[in-house]
Chains A and B, each alone.
Chain A
């Protein structure tokens, strides 16, 4: 949608890119422009690293694996939440310009580093936490991989808590108590986990004013999830489960 292929020739002859980077602490700040050398092949993370290393060491940002496994480098790139290590500059460059900002819907610590505290607090609040039903002295629970519940859980468990979905979600922006797509997605996987013992608490947790019923199915979460997960579908599952629970329907 924002690929700039029409200007590819222009891009390949360009020597520098104009990169706007959010600078500031907490609520205050502004975009600062940098002229970054264009390489044949570079990611947005390469761009940010170039700014911080030879150009401006005061730039704060997060990354770890730089190969698309950890989710630490998630930022807003031209207004869309992405993993910067897996975003090729040529795919998002707009007439030689880039805009890089910290993840939306989260408080900013400094520059490109967002405060993930509320994201993880909501994870716990949604009971997206495993509650064992057995001790080490009990027999191991046999889990049949063909069980529909296991299939449902497995389809959603690859979440690495990068908060891209949380940044994309307008229901999160509109409701500060909304638990968000990631936490609810995880709650859904645990709801389907045969080994878990806290389903009653979990359904309560996702039925309140911040619960799954705030989702408007805009599907921004699944649109942007770099792991191709589908929190909207998980949340739909939670909606069904909470209704069944409310109406006293035994599963």
Chain B
């Protein structure tokens, strides 16, 4: 369940991600042409501040957005409430943020 603040965060993170998603899909369509190898991927991303910023902000936004989205689902479907619900939301946010930033660092670090 959402109150106005969580709703705002959800919609804001969505709007931040809108252009990022389009670019990501376009990049994927381009990248998978003629096969895909690990070397190809890393040669484009390693040492790139641009990709680090791009995917860093993507990870930040998706962690907020997915955590709130999952919150609504576990509340409505699993009937999770109160402190347990809050804990779940934070855990989802922190988990995605941590794994995501680790991934961004892994492919952009030089």
Contacts and interface: CB of A to CB of B under 8 A. Distances in A.
Any A–B CB pair closer than 8 Å:
yes
A214 B76 CA distance: 10
Given A207-B3, A213-B2, A246 B77 contact: no
Interface stretch (A7-15, A174-182, A191-199): A174-182
A214 B5 contact: no
Contacts of A213: 2-4, 6-7
Interface residues of A, number: 16
A178 B3 contact: no
Interface SS of chain B: helix, strand, loop or mixed? helix
B98 interface: no
Interface size class of B (residues with CB under 8 A): 10 to 19
Nearest to A171: B76
30 contacts: A171-B76, A174-B76, A174-B77, A175-B1, A175-B76, A177-B1, A178-B1, A207-B3, A207-B4, A208-B3, A209-B1, A209-B2, A209-B3, A210-B1, A211-B3, A211-B4, A213-B2, A213-B3, A213-B4, A213-B6, A213-B7, A214-B1, A214-B2, A239-B7, A243-B4, A243-B7, A243-B8, A246-B4, A246-B5, A246-B8
Interface of B: 1-8, 75-77
